[in-house]
Structure 1
Amino acid sequence: MTTDQFLRVEMLPALHGDCLLVEYGDSARSRRLLIDGGPIATYPHLEARLNALPAGDRRFELVVISHVDCDHVEGIVRLLANQPLPIRVIDLWFNGWRHLVAGGHLLGGQQGEFLSALIVRRFEQGQWNGAFAGQAVVVPEQGPLPEQTLAGGLRLTLLSPTPTTLDTMRDAWQADLGAAIAPGDLDGAWRRLAQRKAYLPGQGLLGTTPELDTLLERQLKVDRAAANGSSIAFLAEFAGKSCLFLADAYHQVIGESIKRLLRQRGQTLLRVDAVKLAHHGSAGNISDELLALIDCPRFLISTNGSRFRHPDAEAMQRIIARSLHQPPTLCFNYDSKTTRPWASAELQKQLNYRAEYNPRPDAPYLIDL
């Protein structure tokens, strides 16, 4: 890594969700990718960050929509509702219904339907899962883990989802459709999308109806385990720096993929500069076995705890006690009721860890790796 090369992660204020902007490059050129868009209230922050980019350089090598939970996807739906798009996207990763079912149509459970309708209208065919030749973004059951090197040299190694977790998501997704949207009816999904005031460009998405509001409320009750298990998660590496972006992925899946990667590379331990914790620091997404595979000084937690009271104390305690790198640093993008207890200087000294908080709560939290 030369002195002017960099890899940076920005955690945008995404309430209880994820919205991450990653930049990499050198003094001559900066490249970037966007991972998720948070819930709908995140969009003004995302819009402001995009508007701050140079007018002639709003290119994103990749946009990743990890899975269809509202706290990851709504801001992206709002972004894609703009016409024309305010950014240039080279590739977009998102597993829609056609990637869950062989020969399936472009449909999905509510938010997935909306996204599919938007993607079809906003992008060329080769831009949707382009790195995977338009097929599912998935870790095969055997063989090497999929790798993709973006322009400028950022290497991504896919860790999740697997065929099994996508199969589980397919069943939950189909059940969630109900009778509201006919399977494969993209035009119907588009009409419903166009009635959603929250996403209407210039008005705060495209008027609102009680029927659609009911659909969006039901989205929150989709099998969370299934949606989380379908998360697109990966290792990003550039110029000697690296970060694990784990979305809401299962720790068992990530652990097995890391073991495969270590075997591929002839290593016994994965050394990374940061881990963006899965599921906002949920106790169900981190394990001793996973931590034993990783040597990492920083753990990034994206949440204000407003909806699901993340991060869980058990998860933070597990990281503090089991991290191979001592002392570990917990990086919070919010100083909130659920994150503030970890700020205690006495507790940090007693348990041997460090806690860092976003110095500007209404701005992105920049972590320079």
Structure 2
Amino acid sequence: MLHIEMLQALHGDAFILHCKKGKNEGVVVVDGGPTQDSFKIVKRLDMLGTIDLMVLTHYDDDHIGGILAYIKRHKDDKPFPVKEMWVNCAYQVPFKTSPNISMMQAKKLADELECINHDLIQSGHPAIRWRKPVIAGEEKHLPFADFQILSPFEYIKELNDANFKKEIANISRNNNRQKGDLEISLIELSRNNKKSPNETSKQEVVNWSSISFILNCDNYSALMLGDSYPCTIIDSLKRKGYNCDDRKLVVDYVKVSHHGSCNNISNEMLDMIECNKFLISTNGGTGRSCHPDRESIANIIYHTKRDKSKPIHFYFNYEKEKIEKKGFQFIKEGEEDECLFTIHDGIQLFP
């Protein structure tokens, strides 16, 4: 059994995964949305009681805000309501600060966890399991679910090395989405070549550190991509023996990376995945970062190896009208029938 809550977290991510494997049940929280929406997120998390696993994929404010607020709220609780945390902490992943990268919040979270564990141990309560970095290639087997970690790789620390940047030259195009994309057909957009990333961008280093994983429980599965880049996922899947022909990764759900940004998806990655249900968490974005990109929708619909006998289903946690009002229109009238896909908007719990 797997039930997924995709909470409304403005332009951020906040997921609750209700898992069951055999007779064992567990609750997994993945990210906590931005600081400005943390009160609402914490209120929902408080209703869960004990959280078996809390995952902070990376340190952007739209992921860490609610997590930090929750930790602060419960720091004096004994026992602490979170059993285990996956969080590659601030001093484990080197990157510089910028307005969108919450280095100080990451440091505060690390400090809070250190203090909480010290107090728990001193009072005879079990400490939170959190210290060890979560790295691609690891497998985690918990009583209620199994996890295969796809990112980040250990060589994340080399991201500041110019030589390493050469290896990632084709992961993304310029982030300035144009309204003119609406005038280009989805099939044409799907054929776009991804351009080189901006090598001066501090944001990319943080997204490269994003934790992504495959979750399996009973007969259900999900691919949770955080804000990861497709070349990392492709590399991990190939190392596990997956390919785009006779051994695709088959999952029930894909949480689309980075709120549907065209920088974080590729046809090659999609060709290796068999899935027709895609989750996109966004209210349309903030500032100049409007999501989802029409090109991302096009990639999912028209990548070469798509099984066209199965209609694609897109699930959004906000209403399409609200998303397009805050961002841009990303689908034209009639395209759902023409291109064999359906948009389900305002969905927060499924199946």
Bin the TM-score by the shorter chain.
Answer: 0.7 to 0.9
Aligned equivalent of 2:143: 151
Q: List aligned pairs for 1:127-276, cutoff 5 A.
A: 127-129=128-130, 134-139=131-136, 145-152=137-144, 154-168=145-159, 223-262=202-241, 268-276=247-255
Q: Structure 1 residues 85-94 or 241-250, which shifts more? A: 85-94
Deviations 1:214-255 (A, max 9, x none): xxxxxxx98110000000110000112100010001110011
Per the alignment, residue 312 of structure 2 pairs with 328
2:346 alignment partner in structure 1: 358
Matched, 1:309 2:283: no
1:84 shift after superposition: 3.1
- Identical residues among aligned pairs (%): 29
- Secondary structure of the 2:314 match is strand
Q: Does the 8 Å contact 2:15/2:31 carry over to 1?
A: yes
Alignment check: 8 A CA contact 1:61 1:150 kept:
no
Instruction: Find 1:12's aligned residue among 1, 7, 14.
Output: 7
In structure 1, the partner of 2:170 is: none
Letter in 1 for 2:241: L
TM-score by length of structure 2 reads 0.75
The aligned counterpart of 2:278 is 299
Residue 64 of structure 2 is aligned to residue 76 of structure 1: no
Aligned-partner residue type, residue 323 of structure 2: K
Distance 1:51 1:27 in 2: 26
Whole-angstrom distance in 1 between the partners of 2:225 and 2:8: 18
Report how many residues are paired: 288
> What SS class does the counterpart of residue 21 from structure 1 fall into?
strand
> Given residue 337 of structure 1, which amino acid in structure 2 is its aligned partner?
I
Q: 1:37 to 1:288 in 2, by over 3 A?
A: same
Deviation at 1:295, TM superposition (A): 0.4
What amino acid sits opposite 2:296 in the alignment? A
Indicate which of 24, 29, 38 corresponds to 1:34: 29
| Alpha-carbon displacement from aligned partner over 1:167-211 (angstroms, at most 9, x marks no partner) | 32799xxxxxxxxxxxxxxxxxxxxxxxxxxxxxxxxxxxxxxxx
Cα gap change, 1:85/1:299 in structure 2, threshold over 3 Å: closer, same or farther?
Answer: farther
Instruction: Give the unaligned 5+ runs of structure 1.
Output: 1-5, 102-107, 140-144, 172-220, 360-364
Q: How far apart are residue 164 of structure 1 and its match? A: 2.4
For residue 337 of structure 2, the aligned residue among 334, 349, 367 is 349
CA distance in 2, matches of 1:76, 1:222: 25
Matched, 1:117 2:98: no
CA distance in 1, matches of 2:249, 2:10: 30
1:94 aligns with 2:105: no
- Structure 2 residue ranges without an equivalent (≥5): 95-101, 122-126, 163-199
Q: Which runs of 4+ in 1 moved over 4 A?
A: 26-29, 339-345
Distance 1:95 1:47 in 2: 21
Deviation for aligned residue 1:137: 1.2
Instruction: Give the whole-Å Cα distance in 2 for the aligned partners of 1:320 and 1:358.
Output: 21
Take 1:222 and 1:59, find their aligned partners in 2: how far apart are those partners? 38
Q: CA deviation at 1:50?
A: 2.6
- Show CA shifts across 1:139-165 (max 9, x none): 2xxxxx21001122x000000001222
Q: Higher mean Cα deviation, 247-256 or 161-170?
A: 161-170
1:45 aligns to 2:40 (yes or no):
yes
Distance in structure 2 (CA, Å) of the matches to 1:128 and 1:321: 42
User: Are the equivalent residues in 2 in contact too, given 1:282–1:312 (CA < 8 A)?
Assistant: yes
Structure 1 residues 344 and 313, CA gap change in structure 2 (3 angstroms): closer
TM-score (normalizing by structure 1) = 0.71
